[in-house]
């Protein structure tokens, strides 16, 4: 079972050193569910990331469907960042995803201060893609 965003925040709070936090982020990535090779397509690739990142979006039924995501990256730290973003967004209603601003959560974790500008840009690209996909689900079902 994947960790919740709250459990990730709680674990981060227990770790004093950033080296330990980076190790934890890598562990989160290692625990991501297996990503299918068939999902590594140009359509699933997240643009704006220096590392390769893929996201698969699946939609539930109804006017405000539950949206789930699968993700992967070819870089260890980025794979962990994918896990954090999925913990924040995956399995929620499309309207909740669109309304959730990741900035506050990422600041609470301290990621905004401890990631390179390239990784921060890639993280924002993942969030934009997820929120875009959720918005599309709402528009298609309106």
Query: Residue for token digits 């689900």?
Result: 137
Strands of 92-93's sheet in order across: 53-59, 66-73, 92-93
What are the backbone dihedrals phi and psi of residue 137, each rounded to the nearest 5 degrees, phi first?
-65, -40
17 contacts 93 by C-beta, under 8 angstroms = no
Residue 16 per-residue DSSP state: -
Among candidate residues 49, 53, 55, 98, the one labeled active-site is 49
What beta strand segments (E) does 30-97 contain? Answer: 53-59, 66-73, 92-93
Distance CA 119, CA 49 (A): 7
Angle, alpha carbons 136-29-86 (nearest 5°): 25
Q: Which domains does the chain have, with CATH numbers?
A: 5-140 (3.90.1010.10)
49 is catalytic: yes
What are 64-90's pLDDT values in tens digits?
Answer: 999 999 999 999 999 999 999 999 999
Residue 1 has pLDDT above 70, yes or no: no
Angle, alpha carbons 2-93-25 (nearest 5°): 30
Q: What is the pTM of this model?
A: 0.94
Task: Identify the band that residue 40 occupies on the pLDDT scale cut at 50, 70 and 90.
Answer: very high
- Position 78 scores a pLDDT of 93
Polymer length in residues for the chain: 142
């Amino acid at each position: 079972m994947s960790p919740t965003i709250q459990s990730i925040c709680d674990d981060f709070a227990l770790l004093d050193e950033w080296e330990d936090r980076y190790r934890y982020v890598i562990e989160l990535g290692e625990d991501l569910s297996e990503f299918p090779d068939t999902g590594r397509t140009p359509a699933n690739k997240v643009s704006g990331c220096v590392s390769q990142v893929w996201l698969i979006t699946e939609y539930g039924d109804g006017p405000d469907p539950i949206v789930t995501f699968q993700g992967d990256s070819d870089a260890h730290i980025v794979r962990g960042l994918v896990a954090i973003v999925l913990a924040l967004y995956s399995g929620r209603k499309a309207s909740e995803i669109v309304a959730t601003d990741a900035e506050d959560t990422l600041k609470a974790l301290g990621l905004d201060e401890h990631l390179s500008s390239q990784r921060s840009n890639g993280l924002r690209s993942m969030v934009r893609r997820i929120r875009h996909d959720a918005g599309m689900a709402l528009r298609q079902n309106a």
